[in-house]
């Protein structure tokens, strides 16, 4: 009988998405099919691992139905973290501690599902392994609703969040239109994405046969001018009574201040130096209300946009699963210090495949919306942008409904 391979450990890190667990399911299924002995899950990423917090995934997943439930479960099943490893020369003990735990668990492959900050962890650990002659392999699986990872056509999580944003924007527009008989109303919607406007731009997909879509879209890539904004809204109000505006949480003034900071937001800063961006729409709705004197409303999609698994895109869930499996395959074939990417093979019919890149070219980089995909005035996205996003929101992945609500798979610590 062939001897069993050593073990895999997988972790989730950074802001969750509605399909991050589909990648986890892909890692698990592929690792078992490839003959790895155990698949461990780090609880709260590398931060939890340092406290020896992990779970044997076979205590959590018992059947194909559990795999299907996991694929449909939003947020990080294993718990996430925003933990920045020190540079290797700054604190070798942390690295020694991690490798001690990996050796104890007989780990062959370390798989981390995350965004650009999480790829920094893969970069450092794989560098350390090479320098110190450790045998473990470190592979990254892309994940983020922000879609800001370099070298991959797009990131798992983005398509589903974009689908939710586009669908919700249609609903917000309908709601507002029904309220504006002989009176004006301005609705400002705030969309996540930090410094990249991919998700905010996806609000443009709400423009369909029966819906005119949002009136204005402001991305963080373009400096925001409050006076131009006010003038544009006033001009639109001459022609229509309901105005719906999509703004990124991360829009900034020309002097670099976030708009949300004008109302006191952005105080909390995480380990990677990112400010918590919140309150942009509320600030702008208040500002327009005071300047124009009409009814205004702010809608903050907040965590809903990254956890709405009932609205997930089939393309997204399937690709998330694919990249999880591809990372295990790559590790099994001897790759180290790489991230799996999604290559777009064709638009119509839409097809993609998994590729692989050196994580040093991805960690800490931010892929922004190109200037030519935003109109000249800087207040809408172009057809090229829409054509790029449209295939990624296609298809449904029906939740498994129990008593009228989606059923999720949740970590059972008693079985740990
Ligand atoms: O990185 C993904 C993301 O969802 C960003 O869009 C957002 O700015 C950030 O996470 C919010 O992070 P947190 O939930 O930790 O405040």
Please indicate, yes or no, whether residues 239 and 173 belong to a single structural domain of this protein: yes
Tokens of 186: 């301005």
What is the torsion angle, in degrees rounded to the nearest 10, for the CA atoms of residue 277, residue 279, residue 283 and residue 289?
150
Ligand 1 within 6 A of CB of 276: yes
| Confidence (pLDDT) at 270 | 81
Please indicate, yes or no, whether residues 173 and 131 belong to a single structural domain of this protein: no
Ligand 1 within 6 A of CB of 148: no
Please indicate, yes or no, whether residues 232 and 333 belong to a single structural domain of this protein: no
Residues pairing with 55 in the sheet: 41
The pTM for the full model equals 0.96
d(CA 301, CA 75): 15
| Confidence (pLDDT) at 3 | 60
Ligand 1 within 6 A of CB of 143: no
- The DSSP annotation for 96-130 comes to HHHHHHHHHTTEEEEEEEE-HHHHHHHHHHHHHHH
Please indicate, yes or no, whether residues 165 and 135 belong to a single structural domain of this protein: no
Please indicate, yes or no, whether residues 241 and 169 belong to a single structural domain of this protein: yes
Around Cβ 267, how many Cβ atoms within 10 Å? 9
Instruction: Measure Cα distances from 232 to 82, 191, 377 in Å.
Output: 39, 20, 10
Q: Which atom of ligand 1 is nearest to the CA of 270?
A: 15
CATH code assigned at 321: 3.40.50.450
| Confidence (pLDDT) at 4 | 65
The contacts of residue 66 (CB under 8 Å, 6+ apart) are 60, 409
Token pair 């064709």 is at which residue? 346
Q: Which atom of ligand 1 is nearest to the CA of 14?
A: 1
d(CA 217, CA 246): 5
d(CA 28, CA 22): 10
CATH code assigned at 215: 3.40.50.460
- Ligand 1, atom 14, lies closest to the CA of 15
Closest by alpha carbon to 380, among 180, 232, 163?
232
Closest by alpha carbon to 78, among 413, 414, 415?
413
Q: Which residue numbers belong to the known binding site for substrate?
A: 144-146, 192-194, 249
Domain count, the chain: 2
Please indicate, yes or no, whether residues 145 and 184 belong to a single structural domain of this protein: no
Please indicate, yes or no, whether residues 285 and 164 belong to a single structural domain of this protein: yes
Burial class (CB in 10 A: 0-12, 13-18, 19+), 93: exposed
| Confidence (pLDDT) at 266 | 60
Catalytic residues: 146
- Ligand 1, atom 11, lies closest to the CA of 15
- The Å distance, Cα 334 to ligand 1 centre, comes to 33
Ligand 1 within 6 A of CB of 279: no
Closest by alpha carbon to 16, among 155, 131, 128, 120?
155
Q: In sequence order, what E strands does 260-389 have?
A: 295-300, 338-347, 350-358
* Domain presence at residue 213: yes
* Domain presence at residue 380: no
Contact 147, 367 (CB under 8 A): yes
- The Å distance, Cα 15 to ligand 1 centre, comes to 5
Please indicate, yes or no, whether residues 282 and 324 belong to a single structural domain of this protein: no
Which stretch of DSSP H or E encloses residue 39?
strand 39-42
* Domain presence at residue 385: no
Q: Which residue numbers belong to the known binding site?
A: 15, 116, 144-146, 192-194, 249
Q: Which atom of ligand 1 is nearest to the CA of 192?
A: 6
* Domain presence at residue 377: no
Please indicate, yes or no, whether residues 81 and 205 belong to a single structural domain of this protein: no
Contact 244, 176 (CB under 8 A): yes
Q: Which residue numbers belong to the known binding site for diphosphate?
A: 15
Ligand 1 within 6 A of CB of 105: no
Ligand 1 within 6 A of CB of 144: yes
d(CA 366, CA 404): 40
Give the end of a domain, one of 272, 307, 342. Answer: 307
Please indicate, yes or no, whether residues 225 and 272 belong to a single structural domain of this protein: yes
Q: Which atom of ligand 1 is nearest to the CA of 146?
A: 6
- Ligand 1, atom 16, lies closest to the CA of 276
Ligand 1 within 6 A of CB of 266: no
d(CA 114, CA 95): 20
Residue 140: phi and psi, rounded to 5, are: -105, 145
First and final C-alpha spacing in the chain: 29
Closest by alpha carbon to 315, among 362, 271, 349?
349
89 is in which domain, residue-wise?
7-151+309-364+395-415
Contact 146, 194 (CB under 8 A): yes
Give the end of a domain, one of 262, 277, 307. Answer: 307
Please indicate, yes or no, whether residues 192 and 215 belong to a single structural domain of this protein: yes
| Confidence (pLDDT) at 415 | 76
* Domain presence at residue 390: no
* Domain presence at residue 370: no
Running DSSP on this structure, what letter comes out for residue 276? P
Low-confidence residues of the chain: pLDDT under 50: 1
Running DSSP on this structure, what letter comes out for residue 248? E
Give the end of a domain, one of 307, 338, 354. Answer: 307
Please indicate, yes or no, whether residues 349 and 254 belong to a single structural domain of this protein: no
- Ligand 1, atom 8, lies closest to the CA of 194
* Domain presence at residue 2: no
* Domain presence at residue 18: yes
Q: Which atom of ligand 1 is nearest to the CA of 17?
A: 4
Ligand 1 within 6 A of CB of 14: yes
Tokens of 361: 């070219």
């Amino acid at each position: 009988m062939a001897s069993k391979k050593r073990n895999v450990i997988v972790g989730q890190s950074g802001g969750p998405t509605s399909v991050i667990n589909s990648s986890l399911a892909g890692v698990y299924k592929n690792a078992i099919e490839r003959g790895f002995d155990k698949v461990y899950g780090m609880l709260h990423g590398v931060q939890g691992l340092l406290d020896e917090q992990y779970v044997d995934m076979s205590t959590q997943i018992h059947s194909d139905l559990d795999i299907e439930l996991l694929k449909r479960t939003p947020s990080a099943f294993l718990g996430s973290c925003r933990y920045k490893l020190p540079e290797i020369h700054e604190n070798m003990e942390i690295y020694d501690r991690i490798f001690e735990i990996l050796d104890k668990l007989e780990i062959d492959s370390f798989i981390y599902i995350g965004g650009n900050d999480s790829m920094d962890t893969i970069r450092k650990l794989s560098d350390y392994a090479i320098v110190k002659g450790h045998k473990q392999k470190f592979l990254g699986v892309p994940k983020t609703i922000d879609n800001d990872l370099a070298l991959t056509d797009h990131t798992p999580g983005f398509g589903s969040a974009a689908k939710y944003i586009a669908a919700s924007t249609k609903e917000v527009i309908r709601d507002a239109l029904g309220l504006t008989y002989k009176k004006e109303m301005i609705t400002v919607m705030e969309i996540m994405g930090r410094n990249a406007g991919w998700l905010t731009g996806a609000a443009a997909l709400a423009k369909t046969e029966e819906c005119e879509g949002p009136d204005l879209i402001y991305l963080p890539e373009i400096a925001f001018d409050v006076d131009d904004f006010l003038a544009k809204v006033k001009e639109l109000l001459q022609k229509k009574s309901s105005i719906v505006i999509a703004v990124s949480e991360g829009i900034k003034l020309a002097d670099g201040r976030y708009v949300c900071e004008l109302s006191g937001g952005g105080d909390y800063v995480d380990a990677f130096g990112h400010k918590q961006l919140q309150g942009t729409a509320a600030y702008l709705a208040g500002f327009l209300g005071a300047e124009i004197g009409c009814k205004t409303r702010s809608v903050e999609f907040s965590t809903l946009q990254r956890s709405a698994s009932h609205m997930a895109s089939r393309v997204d869930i399937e690709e998330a699963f694919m990249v999880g499996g591809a990372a295990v395959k790559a590790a099994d074939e001897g790759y180290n210090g790489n991230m799996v990417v999604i290559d777009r093979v064709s638009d119509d019919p839409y097809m993609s495949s998994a590729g692989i890149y050196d994580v040093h070219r991805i960690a800490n980089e931010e892929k922004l919306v190109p200037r030519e995909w935003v109109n000249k005035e800087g207040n809408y996205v172009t057809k090229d942008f829409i054509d790029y996003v449209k295939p990624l929101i296609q298809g449904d992945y029906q939740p498994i409904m129990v008593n009228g609500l989606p059923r999720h798979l949740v970590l059972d610590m008693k079985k740990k």
